[in-house]
């Protein structure tokens, strides 16, 4: 509210100062003091006509000025919202403040992150959980982050994200913004429709993508229809443990359509899961053999299938032992899913992408990439149709409910609709990839009274730059969206920023949606130069309660408990047991204790360091040259790393965070004495 008043004051000032607001300013602003009685508000607000002069000099339009006023955060003022964005190919998660669009952190997830010491001595254990067939994988194609929910609302406690390339899922603890677990899906080799959570985060959903034989088995493409399969995985999240429990998780085998994106039912539809798909044609490619290329083969049909999954029934089948075992993982077979009434499908028009459930849980919204409409399905009609057992079946015997029986509405929006989010005023927002626009449209049913327009109508479009993929509104996929802000996640910035070579950054554009009607003002462009983020979520910042320091000195962030290897001040030592050396070290401004560590070539070294400080900013780093060791020791943190001292020499370890005026002196010598006769003699 303060902000709005400030905006009004500045605009008043600009007008008073003679700045033409109809077009780019051309008239000179009045000199301070010359404007007579009109100058009073300027002085009383402590503002000068300088603002008008700056606006004129920079050629800023009135819209530019209001946009600037809406996003500017004076120093020390925190953002109202936080975005957790996929870092795309970087394999990381980006944390961004809204409305300032300032990058606050890059959380190391699937990829080493040196500043956080993620994967350089500490964190390797977690990163190695994501190994596949014994091979370490150090990148990921992160697509969809999911904040944990309580009763369908973000609770600010946990974050999950998937790796499309390798079918992996990560768990991040929002107490310290650190990754705690990586899981490789033992049944499928890639994924896409993840992660999404059920309304109380009982399950983390990981939908499939490109069909393949389950369990990473081999078979020829000639057998595609018989042995290739789609899938959706339900990972059971144990909040207490802060981990996904694979033993309590299961997967449902699906026909070899390419399951794309999923969303969890909520409110009335809680207990159901919806996944769209894109290759009901079951095209297998092979353009070099004279077959239709994938993009043609997979788009031949007029419709693909939305999968309607009864999660409650699936869970019951799993708990009653009705699963088979694939690579040690519980799988509900396709036949069981059909027999037990777990799986139904319904057609969705032309190369669908994304399925989004309205906040009340009553409607499923599906966009067709090659269809200018979004199709809105009624959950109630779905239940009635299932109840009436009114269906045909697909080639695998899955019941297919007619689109006409489930359809609530279709809204023509424009070219290339992809993803949809919601606000608190009864509007939905859909990204239009080909149009490079965000469409606002009116919801019907119980939302019809919230806005002045007819239900199920296109209300307005705002151009974005360029080729938008996902979009996100403030808490826009929860049971109670906030409206206010929307971010367009554009694939290519093209001409929006100074050129940086042929690889273009992406462009997050912030839109003001805090109004009704056509107008959605574009506020800010934020380049993303670290990968191609797909999806992000925006949470009210005050829902997050991250720790400022670790709760106690000697804290192991991985276990979120006191470390048995914590080192207290005065207990520093180096212990030898055969060729195994154990170092117990403390870090405090501005020294490590001990400052000399003398070992022998060939020793196996286990090194414990505790940062014994509890002050807010007392982070130390710890690096050993030549051994690829770099830690970040946040206040209270205890860390342990190991290495084999293969190379003899003198290695200066030092603190890599500028922690005090004597930070450069925060160092020590690791002396690795050569084994056997030394060649260093000169006499």
Interacting residues with ligand CUA (CB under 6 A): 620, 655, 657-659, 663, 666
Query: 371, 401, 373: which is closest to 385 by C-alpha?
Result: 401
Between 469 and 481, CB nearer to ligand CUK:
469
Window 260-289: contact mask with ligand CUK (x via CB under 6 A): -x----------------------------
- Provide the token pair at 49: 């006509």
Residue 549 CB, nearest distance to ligand CUA (Å)? Answer: 15
Out of 19, 262, 418, 639, the only residue in the binding site for ligand CUK (CB under 6 A) is 418
Contacts of 358 (CB under 8 A, 6+ apart): 364, 365, 422, 428, 443, 447
Between residue 343 and residue 362, which ones bind ligand CUK under the rule CB under 6 A? 353-354
- In sign, the C-alpha dihedral spanning 575, 576, 582, 587 is positive
Could you tell which of ligand CUK, ligand CUA, none binds residue 461, using a CB distance below 5 to 8 A set by kind?
A: none
Strand partners, 147: 159
Q: Which is nearer to ligand CUA, 127 or 666 (CB)?
A: 666
Verify binding: residue 369, ligand CUK, rule CB under 6 A: no
Closest separation in Å from C-beta 470 to ligand CUK: 5
CB atoms within 10 A of CB 150: 13
Which is closer to ligand CUA, CB of 585 or CB of 659? Answer: 659
Q: How far apart are CA 252 and CA 568, in angstroms?
A: 50
**Smallest separation (angstroms) from ligand CUK to the CB of 212:** 18
Contact partners, residue 549, CB within 8 Å, separation at least 6: 614, 615, 616, 618, 634, 635, 636
Per CB under 6 A, does 469 bind ligand CUK? yes
Instruction: Give alpha helix (H) positions in 189-339.
Output: 224-227, 294-297, 311-319, 334-339
CB of 353 to ligand CUK, least distance (A): 6
DSSP letter for 558, please.
T
Question: Would you say 251 and 231 are in contact if contact means Cβ atoms under 8 Å apart?
Answer: yes
Cβ 92 to ligand CUA shortest distance, Å: 24
Q: How many CB atoms lie within 10 A of CB 82?
A: 23
Cβ closer to ligand CUK: 353 or 558? Answer: 353
Q: CA 582: distance to chain centroid? A: 39
CA distance 551 to 566: 13
Query: By rule CB under 6 A, what string of x and - marks binding of each residue 181-200 to ligand CUK?
Result: -----------x--------
* Least distance to ligand CUK, CB of residue 533, Å: 9
Query: Which is closer to ligand CUA, CB of 19 or CB of 655?
Result: 655
Is 464 an interacting residue with respect to ligand CUK (CB under 6 A)? no
**Rounded Cα distance, 25 and 9, in Å:** 18
Among ligand CUA, ligand CUK, none, what does residue 386 contact (CB within 5–8 Å per kind)? none
Closest residue to ligand CUK, judged by C-beta, is 469
User: What, of ligand CUA, ligand CUK, none, does residue 418 touch, CB below 5 to 8 Å by kind?
Assistant: ligand CUK
Strand order in the sheet with 303-310: 259-264, 272-277, 303-310, 343-349, 399-400, 392-393
**Residues of the shown chain interacting with ligand CUK in the complex, contacts defined by CB under 6 A:** 143-144, 192, 261, 353-354, 418-419, 469-470, 534-535
């Amino acid at each position: 509210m303060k902000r709005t008043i400030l905006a009004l004051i500045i605009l008043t000032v600009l007008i008073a100062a003679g700045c033409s607001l109809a077009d780019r300013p051309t008239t000179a602003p009045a000199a301070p003091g010359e404007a007579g009685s009109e100058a009073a508000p300027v002085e009383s607000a402590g503002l000068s006509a300088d603002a008008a002069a700056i606006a004129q000099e920079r050629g800023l339009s009135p819209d530019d000025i209001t946009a600037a006023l809406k996003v500017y955060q004076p120093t020390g003022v925190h953002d109202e919202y936080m975005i957790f964005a996929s870092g795309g190919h970087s394999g990381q998660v980006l944390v961004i403040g809204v409305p300032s669009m300032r990058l606050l952190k890059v959380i190391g997830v699937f990829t080493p992150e040196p500043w956080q010491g993620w994967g350089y001595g500490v964190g390797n254990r977690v990163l190695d959980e994501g190994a596949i067939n014994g091979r370490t994988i150090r990148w990921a194609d992160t697509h969809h982050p999911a904040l944990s929910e309580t009763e369908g609302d973000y609770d600010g406690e946990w974050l999950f994200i998937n790796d499309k390339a390798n079918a992996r899922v990560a768990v991040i603890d929002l107490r310290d913004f650190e990754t705690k677990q990586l899981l490789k899906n033992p049944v499928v080799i890639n994924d896409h429709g993840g992660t999404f959570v059920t309304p109380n985060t009982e399950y983390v959903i990981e939908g499939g993508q490109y069909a393949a034989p389950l369990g990473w088995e081999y078979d020829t493409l000639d057998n595609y229809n018989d042995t290739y399969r789609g899938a959706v995985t339900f990972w059971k999240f144990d909040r207490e443990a802060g981990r996904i429990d694979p033993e309590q998780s299961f997967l449902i085998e699906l026909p070899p359509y390419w399951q794309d994106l999923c969303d969890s039912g909520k409110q009335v539809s809680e207990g159901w899961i919806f996944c769209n798909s894109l290759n009901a044609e079951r095209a297998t490619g092979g353009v070099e053999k004279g077959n239709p290329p994938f993009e043609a083969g997979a788009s031949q049909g007029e419709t693909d299938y939305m999968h309607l999954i009864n999660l409650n029934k699936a869970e019951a089948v799993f708990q009653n032992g009705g699963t088979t075992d694939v690579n040690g993982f519980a799988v509900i077979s396709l036949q069981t899913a059909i027999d037990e009434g777990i799986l139904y499908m319904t057609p969705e028009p032309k190369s669908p992408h994304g399925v989004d459930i309205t906040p009340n849980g009553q409607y499923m919204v599906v966009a067709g990439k090659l269809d200018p409409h979004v199709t809105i399905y009624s959950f109630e009609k779905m239940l009635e149709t299932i109840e009436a057992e009114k269906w045909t079946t697909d080639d695998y015997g899955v019941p297919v409910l007619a689109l006409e029986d489930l359809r609530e509405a279709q809204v023509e929006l424009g070219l290339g609709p992809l993803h949809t989010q919601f606000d608190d005023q009864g509007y939905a927002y859909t990204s239009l990839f080909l149009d490079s626009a965000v469409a606002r449209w009116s919801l019907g049913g119980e939302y019809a009274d919230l806005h002045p327009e007819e239900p199920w109508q296109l209300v307005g479009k705002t151009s974005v730059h360029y080729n938008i993929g996902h979009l996100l509104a403030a808490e826009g996929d929860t049971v109670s969206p906030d409206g206010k802000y929307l971010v367009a996640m554009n694939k290519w910035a093209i001409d929006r920023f100074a050129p940086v070579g042929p690889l273009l950054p992406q462009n997050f554009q912030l839109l003001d949606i805090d109004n009704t009607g056509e107008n959605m003002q574009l506020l800010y462009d934020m380049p993303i130069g670290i990968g191609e983020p797909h999806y992000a979520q925006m949470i009210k910042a005050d829902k997050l309660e991250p720790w400022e320091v670790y709760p106690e000195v000697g804290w192991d962030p991985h276990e979120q408990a006191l470390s048995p290897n914590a080192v207290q001040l005065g207990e520093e030592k180096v212990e030898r047991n055969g060729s195994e050396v154990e170092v117990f070290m403390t870090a405090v401004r501005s020294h490590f204790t001990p400052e000399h560590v003398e070992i022998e070539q060939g020793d196996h070294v286990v090194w414990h360091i505790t940062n014994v400080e509890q002050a807010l900013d007392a982070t130390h780093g710890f690096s050993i040259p030549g051994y690829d060791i770099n830690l970040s020791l946040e206040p209270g943190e205890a860390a342990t790393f190991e290495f084999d001292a293969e190379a003899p020499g003198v290695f200066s370890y030092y603190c890599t965070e500028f922690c005090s005026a004597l930070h450069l002196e925060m160092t020590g010598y690791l002396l690795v004495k050569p084994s056997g006769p030394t060649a260093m003699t000169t006499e």
